[in-house]
Amino acid sequence: MLNLQDMRQDYKKAELSEESVNESPFVQFEQWFGDAQKSHLLEPNSMVLATCASDGVPNLRAVLLKIFDERGFVFFTNYHSDKAREIEENPNVAAEFLWLDLERQVRVRGRCEKISTAESLSYFLKRSRESQIGAWVSDQSKIISSRKMLMMQIEKMKAKFQSGDVPLPDFWGGYRILPQSVEFWQGRESRLHDRILYTKEGENWKISRLAP
């Protein structure tokens, strides 16, 4: 059996205080995301998304953040996928960005809503042609017989759209997480981590410190 009890890492790179953070969680996130980019982390926009359908059973997966502004955090998916079905049943979600090289994580809790078709189309047009075709072919989360069958479908779709632009599928698009709370976590020595929580109160944000 693996012995994990002696695996320890003391975090000493930085600290975080109520006085040092920006009054807006969106500005604070932009600053930290910029730090993650400058550190050349692999996929710094990767976030773990947690959903929970009406049956109360939680589900997790990694998705990529593709749009971010003061309205929230946007990712894209097939609207027939498990995550989409779960969001339709229960729009309350949570997401986490984990940047271990910086000894940081950001936790977001809020509600999910579909973005407009125009917003989805704007992003879809920026994807590679191969990714556009992939969106048409992948019946996300469904069981398939083999990868060979998947690749055959890819070739059929390439032939179908060979003479023009690939249109936006009506079953594919974005969701925006509208945050109700955002926590910034900075690792510290002896597991006495800094945790600064933003909580939405009307149009304003309350800033609090949480115990490690």
Residues identified as active-site: 191
d(CA 181, CA 25): 9
73: its two tokens: 């955090």
d(CA 46, CA 75): 10
Amino acid present at 108: V
Q: Where are the beta strands (DSSP E) in the chain?
A: 46-52, 58-64, 67-69, 72-78, 92-99, 104-114, 172-186, 194-201, 204-210
Indicate the angle between helix axes 129-137 and 147-160, nearest 10 degrees. Answer: 120
Q: How buried is 181 (Cβ within 10 angstroms: 0-12 exposed, 13-18 middle, 19+ buried)?
A: middle
Give the DSSP letter of residue 127: S
